[in-house]
Amino acid sequence: MAKLRLGVIGAGSWTVSSHLPNLERWRDDVEFTIVNRRTPELLEKIKNTFGFRMATTNWEDVIAERCDIVIVGSPVGYHHVQTKAALEAGAQVLCEKPFTIDPADSWDLVEAVRRTGKDVIVAYGWNYRPMVVQAHELMHDDGGIGEIEQLTIHMASATRELLSETGSYPDADPELVFALMSAPLDAKVELHDAISVRYTNGAIGTLGGGSCYRGAANNRHQVYLRAIGSKGQLMVDLERNVLWRYRSPSDDVNVPLDQEAGLYDCRGPVDAVVLAGLGRPYSNNSPAELGARTVEILDAAYRSAKGGRIERVATQALKTG
């Protein structure tokens, strides 16, 4: 069987430090065909380091090669047009996060997935970690915790110094959003977010984002989720390696985990896009629809923070069945 032909659009720092090393594990199945970046000097270095056959400063050259799998790692403003072009050229696509800026663009990509029969895998690495896969099963399998009533999600990463210099979702759709954002240290982007969400089924949620200090807790990401449903509750804490579901005194599950269970890596999305290209079974734990739902909330949150009022989610969700 011929090797899959790999194309890379926008070989930025995360693509070079994470996606390409993870793809090297698939050398027996993947040919590093063509790589794109706008800066010629770094582009040539990446080409030689990873053994690409071709390199180009024009991303459309990657599309013209009609590769089997394409990595879109360019700035977010280009994700929509480049991901759509790759799908229409017949590729399975791994798209870096954030998915898009405009929710309408995200839902357009969901439609493109359905129309082309190809897949988009968003680079949400945690969704493929065994601990998070187990959490999803506890939340949904055998009735899970029922219909979500309240949801709390918090994430803080060691990006305070960097930024000052310069998600599982409920079955219901987000409807209303109110957000506060803070940019201390004269940062050009917000360092901290506090977002409240109401869903169409009446559920409410809070999303918190922070930029913590480098060196704190060995730079481990602070990520946790707490959900209360009609049948029970769930807690997932990736910083402290805690996974717990409670439904009754006789159904109280505390999953034993090792100390590395909550560590981040982005191997899972890479493996999924390769398996998709090979036509083998795979699980897309971060589909285009999840990316679109995330963008919807972020779009409303930025509008809310700017205007100081509750904003309605501009949903473009496609109805099926």
Task: Quote the CA–CA distance of 96 and 188 in Å, as a whole number.
Answer: 22
Q: Tell me the torsion sign for CA atoms 136, 125, 30, 273.
A: positive
Backbone conformation region of residue 318, classed left if phi is above 0, alpha if psi is from -120 to 50, else beta:
beta
Task: Quote the CA–CA distance of 198 and 204 in Å, as a whole number.
Answer: 4
Helix (H, G, I), strand (E, B) or coil at 316: coil
- Per-residue pLDDT tens, the chain, 321 aa: give them: 799 999 999 999 999 999 999 999 999 999 999 999 999 999 999 999 999 999 999 999 999 999 999 999 999 999 999 999 999 999 999 999 999 999 999 999 999 999 999 999 999 999 999 999 999 999 998 899 999 999 999 988 765 444 343 334 455 778 899 998 998 877 777 788 899 999 999 999 999 988 877 777 777 788 899 999 999 999 999 999 999 999 999 999 999 999 999 988 999 999 999 999 999 999 999 999 999 999 999 999 999 999 999 999 987 444 433
DSSP assignment letter at 287: B
The two tokens of residue 123 are 């680079």
Class of domain 4-125+266-286: alpha beta
pLDDT digits (tens, 9 = 90+) for 55-112: 999 999 999 999 999 999 999 999 999 999 999 999 999 999 999 999 999 999 999 9
Helix (H, G, I), strand (E, B) or coil at 167: coil
Q: Where exactly does CATH 3.40.50.720 map onto the chain?
A: 4-125+266-286
Q: Where exactly does CATH 3.30.360.10 map onto the chain?
A: 130-262+296-312
What is the fold of 130-262+296-312? Dihydrodipicolinate Reductase; domain 2 (3.30.360)
pLDDT at position 171: 55
Q: What is the pTM of this model?
A: 0.89
The two tokens of residue 71 are 């990595």
